[in-house]
Amino acid sequence: MKKLLFFLAFAGLLATSSTMAQMRSGAAVEKTYGLGLPRDMGKLIPPDSDYPVYPLGPGQEAYADVDGARIKEELKKFTAISLKSLDDGNQFWGRIPGTKYDHETTELLASEYEKLGLQVKHVPFNEPSIWYPTHWDASYQIAGGKSGALLTAYPIDETVPTPAGGITAEAVWVGVGSNADLAGRDLKGKAVIVYSFFVPGGRSHSASDRAGIFNSDSLAIKAGAAMVINVMGIPGNGQFNPEGAPSGAGAVPTMSISQDEGFMLRDMIAAGQKVQIHLKLDIEQRKNLASQDIIATLPGMSDEVDLVVAHTDSYFQGAMDNASGLATAVDIARHYAALPKSQRPRTMVFFHEPDHHHGEFGRSIFIKDFDWNKVALILNCEHTSQSQLFLMNQDLEVGNSINARRWYVSGSPALQQLVKSSFKDFNVSVYTTPERQAGGSLGAFTRLAPAFHIIDHIIYHTTLDTPELVPAVGLAYSERAFLSIFDHANKMSMAELRGAAPLPNPLGGPPDGKSFGTPGRAGGE
């Protein structure tokens, strides 16, 4: 637990004694800020035993074998690989495609399926290109010589590097980064610091989605800013990779920092101190990296297919995103492998791509080579359980409840109603309005067969995405709902599952079957 707290406080840094001293001080100049994300993590995060447990209802006895604690132990096998990449000294750490940790993840997954008796196929391929920051450091200095490291600085996905010698620029605070905040400001050559809040999750944040400061045509970029520093508005000292850095002509290096360090800079500027920011960021575009898809098959009584999908890659520990999906998929295989073949009406196929966050080349290969005429139903296992979190004054509070999720279902009205009612029956909280276009890994599959998923999207792409915030009971609830949906769908023909409308035809979508996407990049979460 102690080791984990250090990871949560400032992931990506080697735990030397000097670094630990900086971490304990918060690199404060005028004020000491609390550490950790959330602060006092040991007191704030409830143990799994504190979550309410609702008993199985009548007719749900077939799913008594689903044990959330067991699924969570499976989840930790995957987060352990991410932590190994941190232990090995990588600043850009996690289950990153083309690294040895990617290979360990997919091999572990294959081994888990083989132990259950599934037929496993390895599909090697070369990842065309990966944006890969190799090293960075950021620091501040104020008049009079005081200085310190910005320990939580993290390059936002696809940002551009600095020149070899780095960049030093005067810091300016621009509020939430709207045009009203930027109008008339002298930003040329400055380190522009913007405060950004979740809308509603960390990947989709206000600076990129609402203020537009990350756009190449934003006033900050047009005004000649030297760099953009995005303060992520969650109390504590975590690291974040929210995605959405400026690209194209005029793009500048874009970093995230924690709220605690961001407010430290803000308070120094407010006190009239001239703050200089130094940033050095080295980035490679790594080409033709060896990786592999994993396809595991559990034969059924027919060659019709129930397909389960889950991506393997992560930033940081990636407990919810997406070790939760991997562990759930393996446990679904365990449940059905324990049944006689005569009780499996359809063949089950489990597909795992290693590059969801990096272009999904592995998914493209699978889609091109698979026989979609035989697919009855698709489940995407992604972000299946997370604790409910609250902003409480200047801190973060964690509830002993499961967060509501985005959700998607397409197919016939009967299937759509089955999925919706099953989520309610198995205590799976979802948003009132379903997605009109499936996010996560599911998007490209929805034109091929009826499909469904849930996907939490509050705390991810951050060091806060740890096993402690993935409740075991939530893992059990979501898996039981998935199993029940498959079992009921397996009593329906493929024509009954598909329905008359053209795919994709999401619940809540327009009646002509056309799908209008939610904001965000294609293939994003």
Domain coordinates in residue numbering, the chain:
2-129+287-498, 131-285
Ranges assigned E (strand) in 431-512: 451-455
Residue 248: what pLDDT? 77
Span 131-285 CATH architecture = 3-Layer(bba) Sandwich (3.50)
Q: How far apart are CA 37 and CA 55, in angstroms?
A: 33
| Model pLDDT for residues 377-425, shown as the tens digit of each residue | 999 999 999 999 988 877 888 999 999 999 999 999 999 999 999 999 9
CATH C-level class of 2-129+287-498 = alpha beta
Spell out the SS3 assignment of 187-204.
CCCCEEEEEECECCCCCC
Contacts of 383 (CB under 8 A, 6+ apart): 320, 321, 322, 324, 325, 405, 440, 454, 455, 456, 457, 460, 525
Angle at 481 between CA 457 and CA 379, to 5 degrees: 65
CB–CB of 450/500 below 8 Å? no
- What is the biggest distance separating any 2 CA atoms in the chain, rounded to whole angstroms? 78
Contacts of 432 (CB under 8 A, 6+ apart): none
CB–CB of 410/416 below 8 Å? yes
Angle at 35 between CA 277 and CA 177, to 5 degrees: 45
CB–CB of 151/188 below 8 Å? no
Strand partners, 327: none
Pick the closest to residue 206 from 391, 383, 214 (CA basis). 214
Contacts of 475 (CB under 8 A, 6+ apart): 68, 71, 72, 75, 324, 327, 328, 384, 385
Q: How far apart are CA 124 and CA 366, in angstroms?
A: 11
- Residue 389: phi, psi to the nearest 5? -120, 150
CB–CB of 223/188 below 8 Å? yes
Which residue stretches of 320-465 are H helix? 325-337, 361-369, 413-425
Burial of 101 (0-12, 13-18, 19+ CB in 10 A): buried
Extract the tokens encoding 428.
């799976």
Q: Identify the H or E element spanning 123.
A: strand 119-142
For residue 485, the SS3 value is helix
Single-letter code of the amino acid located at 206: S
Q: Do domains 2-129+287-498 and 131-285 have the same CATH topology?
A: no
CB–CB of 405/453 below 8 Å? no
Spell out the SS3 assignment of 322-343.
HHHHHHHHHHHHHHHHCCCHHH
Residue 513: what pLDDT? 40
- Low-confidence residues of the chain: pLDDT under 70: 1-39, 209-212, 214-217, 509-525
Q: How far apart are CA 465 and CA 322, in angstroms?
A: 10
Residue 50: what pLDDT? 96
